[in-house]
Structure formats: structure tokens, C-alpha cells
Structure 1
Amino acid sequence: MTPELFRRLTQLRHDLHRIPEVSGQEARTAAFIVDTLTRHTPDSLISGLGGYGVAAVFDSGTPGPTVMIRCELDGLPIPEQSEARYRSTHEGRGHLCGHDGHMAIVAGLADWLAARPLARGRVVLLFQPAEETGKGAAAVLADPRFASIAPDYAFSLHNLPGLALGQVAICAGPANCASRGMRIRLTGRTSHAAAPQDGISPAGALVRLLPDLAALGQGGDLGGDYALVTLTHARMGEATFGIAPGEAEIWATLRTVTNDRMEQLIAEAQSVAGSVAAEQGLHIDIDYDDIFDACTNHPAAVALLDRACKTAGTPAEIHLTPQRWSEDFGQFGVSARAAMFWLGSGKDQPQLHNPDYDFPDAALPIGVAVFRAAIAAVLIETSAGNR
């Protein structure tokens, strides 16, 4: 990467860092990306994809594979703690997962593709909305326009605190856990606090369900039977002394390595909650949010990424266990050979979603180099009929 391109990508990241927008509200970020990509004259530019998604298509006009490089548009509803001159200008919001850095890296590919026309195939640069809620990839896939750019291969990255700056790691197989937020509502009947026997309180059910749900998944080794239930929120009745409560809520995050184990864990949790509610004479409603399928790297895509890392001068570590956190990039692996790699952001870097997290600019050239090599590997080493 030339010093001038590094300067421009660093400035782009800082500009994006200033304007974080949460999932589903990335209008200004998307407009900024569209303006940036337009300067590189892609063969087509699709905006409003699955919400605020943006896709730039560089097409050789000659048959060949389509390779997609995906990054994320959204920030987080977390106040940033920073003295950086480019700190967030949006109160209560921050790019504290590094998506600003991911976007700058993928934008750097547009610069490269514009200067080096493809000999065959296509490259799609996808800036995806709403990754943090697990809704964005599904919305992009459901958009009818996506069918025209559906990739044969899909790659993405995520920066990883705790991994040495610039080092690359790839998971062979499962890359991210499946997870979903389970919301349980218990409804009974209020009564005067002086006569609780005249109502139906959810207090007893709440006290039982908190430990019973947690006991269903206590983590452990990240194998096929891994399950973790994290209690994240509980609420009962109104904040008053005069009313015995008539309703309550429990929120829990369910987490597994595989989708099959997730279905089993859901059934177990619903059974436990339903049984306790019935015993207590309570009505129960259960719904789910923040739904992430397991993200599994395809062997062929892993092999290509591994070779790309060597070409880029950053040999990758191959990991055999996934990250515990979730990623909706796995949705693209249903129809494409997909793989995500980890890009080290420093052993002493604050963790993702910490209020003082900041993507390291020094990692930008490495991300660009690996993606460039991956694109070249797909378009050189594969044929139009080999998916």
C-alpha cells in the first residue's frame, strides 16, 4: 500500500468513526460510502440493499467467478470514552466494534479495482447494514436485487483484540457461535400488596426460572455440545410498594456452536419455562430477537484465504475452535463458499464493545493486502463452473 493510500484510508476511517449509527439507522454512513465508491466508478452501484446496504460491482464482462468482500456499516449504542480528535460526534453511540476499520479496508479495494481492471469474473464490495442485531445479512439476501450479484465466494474479516497487531487467524470449520435472545413474559394477576393471596404473582416462577435456565447451558469446551445460557435482564411488576406484581420478564441469551444444538437448547428452555409457568398458573409468551445462525467457514474458502495470507506476507494461524461471539456473515455461506478471518488488533487492545475500543489504523494495509490476494486467488485459481 502506498503512503498516499494509507493516508486516505486512515482519514476515511476517522471520518466514519465520527458518525456511528446503530443497526437499521445507517443512512448517513451509507450515503458517505456511496459518495466514496462513486469516485472509483464501479460498473454498478446498488444502494438501499436490505435496508441501507451498499454494493459496488466491478465486472470484467468476461465469464468467471463472482467474489464478494463484505464489511459492516453499523456502530453500537454505547457511549465512547476517548480523547481522539476523531471521536464520535453522536451522543451515546460509537464505532466500538471496529466496523469503521472494516469499511475503510473494503473501500481500499475499490481504489485497487478501479486502477486494475479485472480480466475475468466479478468482484462485489458489500457494505452490509444491521450486523449487530443479526438482521442485516438476512435482509440483504432477501432483497430481490441480491440475486443479480450472488457470489460464488464470500470473504470477510473481523478485527480481534488479544491477537497480535496485524497477525491473521482463520478458523477451520465453525468460526462463530449461533446465538439468540430469548424473551419470556409471565402474566398472572395483580392484587393489593396487603392481600397478595388475591392475585397470581410471577415471583415464585421468576425465582425458579433464573437458576433453572442458567443450568441448561454453562459453557465449557467449544465442541459440538457446547451450550451457554446467559441471563441478561429480569423485571417484575411496577416499582411500587402497594401492588403485588402480576407480570414479569426474563431475558436470556442462548449460545451454541451448531445450529442443531441451538434448536435443542431452545426446546429445553421452552419446556422448562412452560412447565414452571403452568405450575404457577401463569400465562407465558416467548419470543426471540438478535438471532444469529452459526458461522462456519467453507474448506475451499479457508484454503484460498490461507494461500492469500501467505501471498500477502502474513501467514495465518489455523484455529480449530470458534469465537464465542456471533456474526451474521454465516448467512452468506448458505449459497456461497464463505470464510471469515481474524485480523489482530493488538494483544493489549481494549476488547470489542468496550467504551474505549478503537480500531488500529496500522491494521488497514494488512486487511487490504489479504483481501487483494484472496480476490486474485479466486479469479486465477477457479473457473466459472467450479463453485
Structure 2
Amino acid sequence: MEFDRQALSQAIAFRRALHQAPELSGEEARTAETVAARLHGFAPDQLLTGLGGHGVACIFEGAEPGPSLLLRCELDALPIEEISDAPHRSRILGKGHLCGHDGHSAILTLVASALSQRRPARGRVILLFQPAEETGAGAAAVLADPAFAAIRPDMALSLHNLPGLPLGEASLREGPVNCASRGLRITLSGKTAHASMPQDGLSPMAAMTRLMPALAALGPGGALDESFRLVTITHARLGEPAFGIAPGTGEIWATLRTLRDEAMAALIEEAERLVISEADAAGLGHALAYEDIFTHCENHPAAVALLRSALDAEGIAHRPGEPMYPSEDFGRFASVSRSAMFFLGAGLDHPRLHNPDYDFPDDLIAIGARVFLRAVREALG
């Protein structure tokens, strides 16, 4: 399956334009407007905006009734300064498309271009440009949006580029593909005092120094099997940055990670019990809050079969691969449809995701679009 040279050139230019103007999770208003304007030119049967915040859905209807197939990409960038000499490098200080969401969006615009020329024979194709993937909030917000009920799919597909895998080669497997994870924010509260009289206050210092290694010991990491648990201490703060105050408050941030959601529930229970025990023993108040919540991502056999068939038909080499340590909020779509994500190699020596020198390989735009469009043709004609 080949694409018109002009359409491909426009998709690459569109990707680079998005790359220059990155917006963070939940702030993708301008990106969404740019995407919607581009999609409007393909005359879709329906164009929805504002889904779950700044989400955009572009819908192409078939002539006959049939199932709905959703293809999903992401809109958001990262709060990381880009290091690059490329002409299309980020123009926004401290922000960059360093995960490839600009490239994923360009892939779906190329699919839209092809569908505008030939719609599916039956059913409908929903191209979803999802906000806030990096925080884990976007998919949940889209699914909770009342407008999503009208476009609820029978199957959902997605992709992510993957440095370390040969350029253009794919990885696809059934079962769990991305870990469940969530950020745990622990606040310990005592009483401040003058630094010359710490005995008049109640410092959380000793409790924090015990808690951090104890939390890490709950999740030592290791192989990605059913028993996998990883707790990473990502941030800690004790009191105020002043020499005259003995601290009365402290915070610990920890990321909890498991292969499946069921194991996450048990890890949360143990972590909370540990915090409460340490706080009570020290006479401290405590508060627990969760952020960046990702359910585990699991590929449905039927969706995997469709993607595998599309990869074979396009002559794209693929391997089963292994589950991945990072999380991905596409897993939430499994609650409403059969879903699967595949990974597309960005090159063995390509800079890794979230690195400041990462840039999406433009060669993947046509490859990703070919796989998606082949899946559409096989599923819907």
C-alpha cells in the first residue's frame, strides 16, 4: 500500500510544525485547533472537538452498517528542554515533543487523507487525537465524556514508536504490554520550631529516612512477570529552605509499578499500611494522594490478530516482544472495546523516549499509516 507523494510530504511537514509548538498535558488547545483544521480539509463525515478536554475525533462513515474501528494517537508533549539543531526543533522553552506524539498524530492525518479518497465499505473509522496521555488522565477523560458514548468503538488500535527496535520493524504480542503505575504523594505533618530548639517541635525527618528505603523494599523490580513490583522514590522535601527553622512537614513522592492492576491493588495496600504505621509511631499526621494513574495495558487476541494480519500484508517484519516497564493510558480503552497496541521501531541507536535529543523518525509516518489503513480495509472493506 503506497501513499501519494504529496500527501506524505504534507504529513511530514505537519509533524514538524507540531514539533515546533509543543503543549503539555491538558494544555493542548492550540495543538487541537491545528489538528482539527487539518482534518477539516479531508471532509470527514463528523469532526468532534473538546473530547475529554482538548481531544479531537475525526469520523469516516461506510456506505453499509458495520462495526466501529477506533485508531488513537496522542497530542501532548513533555516538560523537557529539547537539545537539537534541527530546523523544526521546539520553539517553546522547557517543552518538547520528545516522545513522538507529533509523529503519531501525523500518521493519523495521513490515514485521514487516504480515507477521504476512499471511505470504508461498511461501519465507521474513528480517528482519535487524545489529550493528556503523559499524565494518564487523557484516556479516562475521553471515555468519561458524554460525547464519547455516541462513538464508542467495537475495536481500538494504537501504536507507539520504540527506540532500540530496528527502524520500521514492529513488536506485537497478546496479553499485558505496559505496566500499571501511579504516583503516590505522601505528606507528613508535625510541628515547626526554632532551629536552636528543635525539641519544641516535631520533625518528620526520622520517619522519612525510614520510610523511603522501606517503600523501595516493597517493590525491588526485577523480571516483568506476575510478581513484578517496583517502587521508585522520585522526590522528597523536608521543611522549608531556611537555616532558622526546624522542619514540621515533609513530602515523599513514589511511583508504584506492577505488571497488572490486580497486583497494584495489593501494593497500594501495603504502601499505605507502611506509611500509616510510621506516621503513627512518630506521632505525625499524614495524608496520601494519587496522581498520574495508569491502568495496565493488555492486548486483546482479536485486535492483535487484525494488526498481525495488517503487518504481514504490508510486508513489515514483526516479533512478539515482551511487556514494557513504562505505562500507557491506552489500556483504559480495553474497558469499552477489544484493543491492542503495537510498537514500531525507531532504530537501534535512536535516542530514547523522553531524552532531550529525541526526535520522531519521519520514515515511520508512512509505515504506521500503512498498517492502520490495511487494518481498516481488512476489518471494514
TM-score normalised according to structure 1 size: 0.97
Match among 153, 159, 162 for residue 160 of structure 1: 162
For 2:65 and 2:317, how far apart are their aligned partners in 1? 31
Q: Is 1:52–2:41 an aligned residue pair?
A: no
Indicate the SS of the match to 1:151: coil
Look up the equivalent residue of 2:99 and give its one-letter code.
Answer: C
Alignment partner, residue 241 of structure 2: 239
For 1:240 and 1:250, how far apart are their aligned partners in 2? 19
Alignment partner, residue 248 of structure 1: 250
Alignment partner, residue 189 of structure 1: 191
Displacement of 1:171: 2.4
Look up the equivalent residue of 2:302 and give its one-letter code.
Answer: A
Look up the equivalent residue of 2:232 and give its one-letter code.
Answer: T
Alignment partner, residue 85 of structure 2: 83
Displacement of 1:61: 4.1
Displacement of 1:357: 0.2
Alignment partner, residue 266 of structure 1: 268
Match among 272, 281, 284 for residue 283 of structure 2: 281
Q: Is 1:150–2:149 an aligned residue pair?
A: no
Displacement of 1:273: 0.8
Displacement of 1:172: 1.7
- Are 2:120 and 2:377, in contact at CA under 8 Å, matched by a contact in 1? no
- Are 2:120 and 2:376, in contact at CA under 8 Å, matched by a contact in 1? no
Indicate the SS of the match to 2:48: strand
- Are 1:53 and 1:127, in contact at CA under 8 Å, matched by a contact in 2? yes
Indicate the SS of the match to 2:102: helix
Residues 97-176 of structure 1 mapped to structure 2, 5 A cutoff: 97-176=99-178
Match among 41, 44, 47 for residue 42 of structure 1: 44
- Are 1:191 and 1:244, in contact at CA under 8 Å, matched by a contact in 2? yes
Alignment partner, residue 371 of structure 1: 372
Displacement of 1:164: 0.5
Indicate the SS of the match to 1:171: coil
Look up the equivalent residue of 2:62 and give its one-letter code.
Answer: S
- Are 1:20 and 1:90, in contact at CA under 8 Å, matched by a contact in 2? yes
For 1:171 and 1:337, how far apart are their aligned partners in 2? 14
For 1:274 and 1:63, how far apart are their aligned partners in 2? 56
Indicate the SS of the match to 1:240: coil
Q: Is 1:215–2:190 an aligned residue pair?
A: no
Look up the equivalent residue of 2:367 and give its one-letter code.
Answer: I
For 2:170 and 2:376, how far apart are their aligned partners in 1? 17
Alignment partner, residue 345 of structure 1: 346
Look up the equivalent residue of 1:225 and give its one-letter code.
Answer: S
Indicate the SS of the match to 1:82: coil
Displacement of 1:63: 1.0
For 2:35 and 2:343, how far apart are their aligned partners in 1? 23
Displacement of 1:268: 0.6
For 1:117 and 1:344, how far apart are their aligned partners in 2? 29
For 2:81 and 2:156, how far apart are their aligned partners in 1? 32
- Please provide the CA RMSD for this pair: 0.8
Alignment partner, residue 293 of structure 2: 291
Displacement of 1:79: 0.7
For 1:117 and 1:172, how far apart are their aligned partners in 2? 29
5+ unaligned residues in a row in structure 2: which ranges? none
Match among 233, 251, 257 for residue 259 of structure 2: 257
Displacement of 1:275: 0.3
Indicate the SS of the match to 2:252: strand
Displacement of 1:193: 1.5
For 1:376 and 1:154, how far apart are their aligned partners in 2? 15
5+ unaligned residues in a row in structure 1: which ranges? 381-387
For 1:377 and 1:317, how far apart are their aligned partners in 2? 21
How many pairs were matched up? Answer: 379
Look up the equivalent residue of 2:18 and give its one-letter code.
Answer: L
Between the aligned residues of both structures, percent identity stands at 55
Displacement of 1:301: 0.5
For 1:306 and 1:117, how far apart are their aligned partners in 2? 22
- Are 2:79 and 2:95, in contact at CA under 8 Å, matched by a contact in 1? yes
Displacement of 1:210: 0.9
Displacement of 1:196: 1.2
Look up the equivalent residue of 1:122 and give its one-letter code.
Answer: R
For 1:61 and 1:331, how far apart are their aligned partners in 2? 30
- Are 1:184 and 1:284, in contact at CA under 8 Å, matched by a contact in 2? yes
TM-score normalised according to structure 2 size: 0.98
Q: Is 1:358–2:359 an aligned residue pair?
A: yes
- Are 1:306 and 1:315, in contact at CA under 8 Å, matched by a contact in 2? no
For 2:380 and 2:229, how far apart are their aligned partners in 1? 39
Look up the equivalent residue of 1:124 and give its one-letter code.
Answer: I
For 2:205 and 2:120, how far apart are their aligned partners in 1? 65
Alignment partner, residue 17 of structure 2: 15
